[in-house]
Structure 1
Amino acid sequence: MSNTTARTWLITGADKGLGLSAAKAALEQGDNVAVTVLAADGSHSLAAQYPGRLKSIHLDARDQERCADVVKEVVDTFGRIDVLVNNAGFGLMAVAEATPPEKYRPMFEVNFFGLVEMTKAVLPFMRAQRSGHIINLSSKAGFMGVTGFAFYCASKFAVEGFSEAVAAETKDMGIRVTIVEPGGFRSDFAGPSLVTAVNDDGDYAAANDRISKYVTERHGKQESDVAKFGPAMCRLVNAENPPLHLPLGKDCLDALRANIRSIEADFDRWEELSLSTMADD
């Protein structure tokens, strides 16, 4: 692909992991890429390899007032934004009752509100182009509740609802939205990036045991390979009719399908009660 036909991607949280994988794959297929990174000097490991096609900008996702400035800087550099990948985020594993606000509120600022403000900043440019693809990173835990991940689930459930609404509002403007729901990837999610808080109450013994084992037993043994995430995102962006939901990994696909079947069974079992509130007229 030549630079004249290259897309421009904006990928948040691309210092490492999934964001870095997406940036690398997009650059390898000839696209221009802007990334946000936590590095204070805005440096990025791929900069020297792709001069002129990679722009790296320092951004703490909690600093949402800067989202509009970042988007303007990218448009000033490359002329447009075709793909937004809202990847910045981190996990929090703890029993809900034991989790203090100072742990879960910062996660919402990054996982949800940072994503919201970056999306809002990009939308005017995509509307003017009458084209664009917004890819919002959710999780298996954004589709179903998971023990020990109450607040992480809540932040990702919020991403799902917001994304579905934006998709409905912009579908006639040439803008596509995809919610990507990764299962377990061999990234830092279950390692240094995961904030945990363990409660000692005996009532939560089973949950606490799962929490304490999660990092030590799961880190580095997840089913999906980070290096394969970027190529999957390129296939998604290149698709003529991209999906609204894209689970990644067999673990996620199996869990989501089982969850859907369970919900449908509840609907069938309780249909009479569900319909009992209908007005008589």
Structure 2
Amino acid sequence: MRNNRVWLITGCSTGFGRELAKATIQAGYPVVVTARNLPSIADLVRGNPDNVLAMELDVTKPDQIEKTVNATIEKFGRIDVLVNNAGIGYFSSVEEAVEEETRKMFEINVWGLMHMTNAVLPHMRNQRSGHVINISSIGGLASFPGVGYYNGTKYAVEGISEGLAQEIAPFNIRVTLIEPSGFRTDWSGRSAAKTKSAIKEYADLISPFVNEENHGKEPGDPKKAAEAIVSIVQSEEPPLRLLLGSDAYHIAVNKYTELLKTIEKWKEVSVNADFQD
């Protein structure tokens, strides 16, 4: 295991990104930390100018992506770990969602993530090694009322990442999807937009899932999540998917247990859809 892997992390101003930046810096890795608001991450560089580079980065702006990747290569000579953490949430019933808000979320959560990845992959292919960490969600495996479009962004990230993992495996580049449940980050606070439901039936259904009183009371510890992400990068055989949080574990097990039951229940109908010789 190399302890000189160069990390490039997006969305370091708060939450997972910030905790992961702190953990990697403390571990002595060369790290490039990024945020849309550069002063918000200035403290991460203080005392570590040789090992830490801070860059202004909005993942929806190709010029900033190119500038960040080039600066990383110029300072450290390589990129070993890309963490696509930048993202936003959006609360609304599917029927009442504002298209402008959903498109903005897809631009950041999906297209921003992929533009960032595609900018880094040529360097990883040339060095024949690398690890792409995509921060997904348990909401990329199971959907919930009130966040259908958010689920859509994460399902997209899951599908693209799984295909990508197979394409770049021959170059010794790994992909890992991080699938957390509720953690005490800013995801459901400042980093999320909301459209208040005007349809009573939806409001009653959605309110337990988007109750603002739950913000800051989530069971997940972002520091432990950061430690877990560092540990899989150090692993000889990192997983394609890593669930984080006890809720994530139980939700995933329940989802796939029920899915397997349904598959078996309708097996005859499924297999009989083929041409019969």
State the TM-score, normalized to the length of structure 1: 0.94
Query: In structure 1, how many angstroms separate the alpha carbons of the residues matched to 2:120 and 2:152?
Result: 24
- The residue that corresponds to 2:243 in the other structure is 247
Q: What whole-Å deviation, never above 9, does each CA across 1:94-143 have from its counterpart, x for those lacking one?
A: 10100011111111111110000111011111011111000000001011
1:62 equivalent in alignment to 2:54? no
Instruction: Give matches, 1:220-235, under 5 Å.
Output: 220-235=216-231
The one-letter code matched in structure 2 to 1:26 is T
Aligned partner of 1:219 in structure 2 is 215
1:199, CA displacement in angstroms?
1.8
1:60-109 CA deviation, whole Å, 9 max, x = no partner?
12213432332111111100000000000011111010001111111111
Q: Is the 8 A contact 2:88 2:105 kept in 1?
A: yes
Corresponding residue number in structure 1 for 2:117: 119
Q: How does 1:26-37 map to 2 (within 5 A)?
A: 26-37=24-35
Amino acid in the other structure paired with 2:113 = L
Cα distance in 1 for partners of 2:190, 2:103 equals: 19
Deviates more, 1:169-178 or 1:34-43: 34-43
Equivalent residue for 1:261?
A: 257
Q: Which of 12, 15, 35 is 1:14 aligned to?
A: 12
Q: How does 1:1-281 map to 2 (within 5 A)?
A: 6-40=4-38, 43-210=41-208, 214-216=211-213, 218-281=214-277
| RMSD across aligned positions (CA) | 1.6
Count of paired positions: 277
Equivalent AA in structure 1 for residue 170 of structure 2: D
Show structure 1 runs of 4+ deviating over 2 A.
40-44, 205-211
Taking the aligned partners of 1:91 and 1:226, their CA distance within structure 2 comes to 17
1:49 positional shift: 2.7
Q: Is the 8 A contact 1:15 1:44 kept in 2?
A: no
Unaligned 5+ runs, structure 2: none
Alpha-carbon distance in structure 1 between the residues aligned to 2:275 and 2:74: 56
Local SS of the residue matching 1:45: helix
The one-letter amino acid of 1:225's match is D
Deviation at 1:41, TM superposition (A): 5.5
SS at match of 1:135: strand
Instruction: Using structure 2 for the length normalisation, give the TM-score.
Output: 0.95
What percentage of aligned pairs have identical amino acids? Answer: 38
SS of 1:98's equivalent? coil
Question: Equivalents in 1 of 2:257, 2:3: separation in Å?
Answer: 43
Distance 1:64 1:188, change over 3 A: same
Q: CA deviation at 1:5?
A: 5.2
**Structure 1 residue 203: deviation in Å?**
3.0
- TM-superposed deviation, 1:179: 0.3
SS in 1 for 2:25: helix
Q: Distance in 2 between matches of 1:40 and 1:6?
A: 25
- The Cα shift of 1:40 comes to 4.7
